[in-house]
């Protein structure tokens, strides 16, 4: 794909796979036989969640939730729930999976939503947590894959105007080319 030469790799396919396995071990050990409800936030977390849940060695339930707080690579300041859950989270241990924690706005709103829905517990897992240098975030994920620099990243589910989600690695668009 010609695209490869425009994107500078930050996390390779292999590096991501190793970290996803580590997270899966920790998450499996935490939940044991409690059958958590794992909810992947659409669309960005789909690839990460697909790999993560397949590495778990516990029974889980799986659902997705369409959430959006960004348009044209800019935060809109509000969150939209674009789909509905299939599984009722009330009384369940919910683990929310997202691709990246930036300001933390999305994940804090989603966690509030699950608490208000009567979940027994709500935990969060993100592949990336952006270092915003001194900015205090409203939420910290319970499990984080990598802490990354404050750059706009794409690949492995993350898009730029809906492109690049299918890249097997994560990188930054190299504008110098
Ligand atoms: P937050 O609400 O934490 O500021 O933003 C979280 C959401 O914004 C993520 O779920 C993701 O969809 C999007 N986002 C934040 N930073 C990036 C980025 O660097 N690249 C991409 N593709 N999406 C991002
Ligand atoms: Mg997202």
C-alpha to C-alpha distance for 40 and 174, rounded to whole angstroms = 29
- Among residues 33, 102, 112, 129, the one annotated as catalytic is 102
Residue 146, CA distances (Å) to 81, 128, 176 in order: 26, 5, 25
What is the residue whose two structure tokens read 């790799």? 9
CB of 99 shorter than 6 A to ligand 1:
yes
- State which residues have CB under 5 angstroms from ligand 2, the bound ion: 44
C-alpha 101 to ligand 1 mean position (Å): 6
Told to judge if 102 belongs to the known catalytic residues of this protein, a careful annotator would answer yes
156 sits in the region (left: phi over 0; alpha: psi -120 to 50; else beta) called left
Q: Are strands 93-101 and 37-42 parallel, antiparallel or unpaired?
A: parallel
**SS3 sequence, 51-80?**
HHHHHCCCCCEEEEEEEEEEECCEEEEEEE
pLDDT tens sequence for the chain (177 residues): 555 568 999 999 999 999 999 999 999 999 999 999 999 999 999 999 999 999 999 999 999 999 987 555 565 667 889 999 999 999 999 999 999 999 999 999 999 999 999 999 999 999 999 999 989 999 999 999 999 999 999 999 999 999 999 999 999 998 765
- Is the whole-model pTM more than 0.95? no
């Amino acid at each position: 794909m010609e695209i490869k030469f425009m994107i500078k790799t930050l996390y390779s396919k292999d590096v991501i796979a190793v970290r996803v396995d580590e997270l899966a071990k920790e998450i499996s050990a935490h939940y044991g036989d409690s059958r958590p409800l794992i909810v992947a936030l659409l669309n960005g977390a789909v690839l990460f969640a697909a790999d993560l849940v397949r590495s778990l060695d516990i029974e889980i339930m799986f659902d997705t939730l369409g959430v959006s707080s960004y348009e044209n690579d800019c935060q809109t300041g509000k969150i939209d729930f674009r789909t509905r859950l299939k599984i009722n989270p009330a009384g369940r241990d919910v683990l929310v999976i997202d691709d990246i924690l930036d300001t933390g706005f999305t994940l804090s709103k989603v966690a509030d939503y699950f608490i208000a829905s009567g979940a027994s517990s709500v935990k969060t897992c993100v592949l990336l947590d952006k270092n915003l240098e001194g900015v205090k975030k409203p939420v910290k994920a319970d499990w984080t894959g990598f802490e990354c620099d404050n750059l706009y990243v794409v690949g492995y589910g993350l898009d730029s105007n809906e492109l690049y989600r299918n890249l097997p690695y994560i990188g930054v668009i190299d504008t110098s080319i």
